[in-house]
Amino acid sequence: MSKFSLAVHGGAGTILPKNLTPALEAGYHAGLRRALEVGQEILAKGGSAMDAVTASVCALEDEPLFNSGRGAVFTTEGVQEMDASVMDGRNRMAGAVSGIFGPRNPIRAARAVMENTDHVMLIGPNALKVARDAGLPFEDAAYFFTQERWDALQSTMKMRAEGIEDNDPARRHG
Amino acid sequence: TVGAVACDVNGNLAAATSTGGMTAKAPGRVGDTPIIGAGTYADNATCAVSCTGHGEVFIRYTAAAEIAARMRHAGQSLEDAARHVVMEDLGKNDGSGGLIAVDAKGNITLPFNCDGMYRGSVTQDGDFETLIYR
């Protein structure tokens, strides 16, 4: 028997350190903690690493503070495109989806690709079909929209229109 | 971008990563998150890895799989392999960001080469930790 362990990361899109208020910072800590707790609960009961990472990422996708699922950032065209992947260390099985919109938890769509198809990555309509066939919940645009992400898009587009160069690497992070 | 890596009581590893991409990205642009070996990787013989950062550079350096390769071929520890990839391969080539990784002994490492990374970990001993900056 091994000792279990779990780690998570939760990126917040374009947010610079100077804009991080104490309240916002507390929200990020709480969101990370929740993601750890759901995964830890699975591992403590002898559950699999795959189930733990899936549950933890679902918790992060459900939290609008983080840039994935609900709270995902917007493209230049004002839409959201989501990517996700999973890999199982037992057998190198893997699943991924890219450029999708609709499944509440893109990570579960990626896992459905791994478990229910012969493929590793699917995009577009066929990725969504795999998610639907797996019975995964879908949400509409209102569920995924957050004002903060929309404002960040407008701010970035305005900077670009004004020719302002921003070399802050944080803007290139997901 | 969000992600998780885990080692269970049977020594099995897994990794998961999910993202909305970059703010104001070009439609159709895909970063490292869904690319197996770049943003996500798991193999019980070495490690499980989930990355976050400047995706194009993580893809060019196959960041996640490179950590496993260093462990497998060079006999490096998880921490040494991850640190090299983040600080040298990525950090010296405009690849800002970081990653989380775990090995089959349950060791965890969370290196990053930028101002901060929103991250957390828990062990079987129940030691919860969440961090943003160094």
pLDDT per position in chain B (134 positions), as tens?
Answer: 999 999 999 999 999 999 999 999 999 999 999 999 999 999 999 999 999 999 999 999 999 999 999 999 999 999 999 999 999 999 999 999 999 999 999 999 999 999 889 999 999 999 999 999 87
What ipTM goes with this model?
0.98
| Cβ-contact B19, A52 below 8 angstroms | no
For A34, A52, A84, A85, the CA distances from A116, given in Å and listed in that order, are 29, 19, 16, 14
Concerning whether B40 is annotated as a catalytic residue, the answer is no
φ and ψ at B99, to 5 degrees?
A: -160, 165
Contact with chain B for residue A98, Cβ under 8 A:
yes
User: What b/e sequence results for A10-30 when a residue is b if at least 16 CB atoms lie within 10 Å of its CB, and e otherwise?
Assistant: bbbbbbeeeeeeeeeeebbbe
pLDDT digit string (tens) for A15-52? Answer: 566 678 899 999 999 999 999 999 999 999 999 999 99
Kindly state the DSSP code that residue A138 receives in the 8-state scheme: B
CB contacts under 8 A, B 107-126 vs A, are: 107-108, 110, 114-126
CA within 13 Å, CB half, B130: 18
Q: Which residues contact A102 (CB under 8 A, 6 or more apart)?
A: A128, A131, A138, A139
Confidence of residue A12 (pLDDT cuts 50, 70, 90): confident
Pick from B44, B39, B87: which is nearest to B62 by CA?
Answer: B39
SS3 category, A168: coil
Q: How far is B76 from chain A (nearest CA, A)?
A: 19
How far is the C-alpha of B42 from the C-alpha of A25, rounded, in Å?
30
